[in-house]
Amino acid sequence: MYQYDEYDQRIVDERVAQFRDQTLRYLAGELSEDEFRPLRLQNGLYIQRYAPMLRVAIPYGNLRADQVRMLGHIARTYDRDYAHFTTRQNLQYNWPRVEDVPEILAQLATVQMHAIQTSGNCIRNVTSDPFAGVAGDEIIDPRPWGEIVRQWSTFHPEFAYLPRKFKIAVNGATEDRAVIQVHDIGLDLKRDAAGNIGFRVLVGGGLGRTPIIGEEIAAFVPWQDILSYCEAILRVYNLHGRRDNIYKARIKILVKALGIDAFRTQVEAEFVHLKGGPATLTQAEVDRVARHFVDPAYETLPATDAGYSAQLAASKGFAAWAKRNVRGHKQPGYASVVLSLKKSGIAPGDITADQFDRVAGLAERYSFGEVRVTHEQNLVLADVRQSDLFALWEAAREAGLATPNIGLLTDIIACPGGDFCALANAKSIPIANAIQARFDDLDYLHDIGEIEINISGCMNACGHHHVGHIGVLGVDKNGAEFYQVTIGGDQGNDTAIGKVIGPSFAAAEMPDVVSSLINTYTEIRHPDERFIDTVRRVGVEPFKTRVYAEREQRKQAHV
């Protein structure tokens, strides 16, 4: 993975010095609350419900073992022994002290990490496919491009004070695993007929209050031009995006207001001046960055390891884990492993300081010292020998990281919600935990099959509820916490926004609501049909009817 050179390191070190000075001036009263806010946000520092929150950048979800250890060290030293992985592949500390943040950033800088632009109205941390470089359906490795975009966007002087936040995702595979259709800019790596690399560019996607699927602004932008093209998009947005209303300030609103064709015309009018300019990427630079993402030293192995096959046959528990948490790999004899951060009763995406250390050890022992973060809030060891899977499973089990539920109902995406977040209307974590507790039978979970439940505590949609097969949105009804349910949302190539099934529910009703939805599905599904497929086939109505009928029955039973 990418290693800083002296220039990268200096930029991060200078950032630490800058923010240390800003924090001191804030604490001394020289910087007002309003003046400090955008500065601290652009360093990922929020003032939260109970304490500050620090969001650390994990560019395109890539981590080294020494970085993982440092994250654990910080959790232990400056926080309460745990941290939280987010849906944008970042990491959040929930309880740091403001005055400690400069020192935390200094320690992160020693392992080539930072919190730059993890919040604020600027270009945020770039996200990508957690299976980059190892997936069988990859066309072009997105990681070098993620790094190139990271460097271009870091402290871009023209785009530090945009109308609103700006998120870029890069995908390089046939199947989109970076949710590029709901990003401000989605970059989809392609080859043209002649084999040249370029990008299909989507613009104006986003979740939040007004969920919108991004539209194609360019079918193919040659790689040399991609930064200039992004610059053209950002300039049009910076000049013309709305600044009068925070809820209408995202680029998606501008694109919708103008229409994609008129927006494209404006972008092209900018791009014509930028094309061929100094931002044009060079082969030397792409090669320099790409050299950091070459394959590790794989051994030549048989496609199927005999010992692995025997272990699968011998251990039901191992087989169940392998079925859900082990993925195929482009290299014969290797596999990718998902370490589940979705153990029942734990906040989805949470990890303890001890688990950080164990993950670092597992990565070093079994996966070339690297770890990836998924936007579903799990971790990936991308390059594991099949022959090591059993030992890895045993160690992961001991660490509480081997729940065999990846892609199943209990693999719930949830934002921190009202337990931590100042923006939340309602809690997320207890809802996730209550649903996990209801569906605790592994055989039943496997029978239900693949399904994604996404929970957000407010319409900012950090829990990506719009694109959950079942989406849950916390709403405030006269000061009480209620939950609106959508079904039919999806991520990936078939990205869709879920439809609301009806009036919202109290927290205590949520496990029953999910049960009603699942029971509807298991009764009417066709063979091999996932929950989302059934919803697509029959529509919302049968689900909605049953959910509210059974709710009425429960109410009657109680009177």
Residue 32 CB, nearest approach to another protein (Å): 10
Binding letters toward another protein, positions 91-130, x by CB under 8 A: ------------------------------x---------
Residue 15 CB, nearest approach to another protein (Å): 8
Stretch that binds another protein, among 51-59, 155-163, 363-371, 533-541 (CB under 8 A): 155-163
Cα→Cα distances 284→31, 49, 199, 280, 295, Å: 43, 47, 19, 12, 19
Q: Tell which one of 78, 155, 220, 298 touches another protein (CB under 8 A).
A: 155
Helix (H, G, I), strand (E, B) or coil at 123: strand
Binding letters toward another protein, positions 39-68, x by CB under 8 A: x-----------------------------
CB 439 within 8 A of CB 445: yes
Confirm or reject binding of residue 7 to another protein (CB under 8 A). yes
Specify the amino acid at residue 156. Answer: H
Confirm or reject binding of residue 191 to another protein (CB under 8 A). no
Q: Tell which one of 24, 136, 161, 440 touches another protein (CB under 8 A).
A: 161
Query: What single DSSP character describes residue 284?
Result: H
Q: Tell which one of 131, 145, 152, 482 touches another protein (CB under 8 A).
A: 152
Other C-beta atoms closer than 10 Å to the C-beta of 76 total 16
Reference 89, options 212, 208, 179, 195; nearest CA is: 179
Q: In DSSP terms, which residues pair with 111 in a beta bridge?
A: none
Crossing angle for the helix pair 283-290 and 143-153, to the nearest 10 degrees: 110
Confirm or reject binding of residue 285 to another protein (CB under 8 A). yes
Q: Based on CB atoms, which residue is closest to another protein, 161 or 247?
A: 161
Q: Tell which one of 159, 420, 439, 482 touches another protein (CB under 8 A).
A: 159
The interface with another protein within residues 398-427 (CB under 8 A) comprises none
CB 342 within 8 A of CB 405: yes
Residue 277 CB, nearest approach to another protein (Å): 8
Confirm or reject binding of residue 258 to another protein (CB under 8 A). no
Query: What single DSSP character describes residue 526?
Result: P
Q: In DSSP terms, which residues pair with 64 in a beta bridge?
A: 370
Q: Based on CB atoms, which residue is closest to another protein, 12 or 429?
A: 12
| Residues contacting residue 183 through CB under 8 Å, at least 6 positions apart | 127, 167, 168, 169, 202, 205, 206, 214
* Cα gap 262→414, rounded to integer Å: 37
Q: Tell which one of 151, 367, 405, 428 touches another protein (CB under 8 A).
A: 151
Reference 469, options 533, 382, 378; nearest CA is: 533
Residues within the interface to another protein (CB under 8 A): 3-7, 10-11, 14-15, 18, 22, 30-31, 35, 38-39, 121, 151-152, 154-162, 227, 235, 238-239, 243, 273, 277-279, 281-282, 284-285, 288, 291
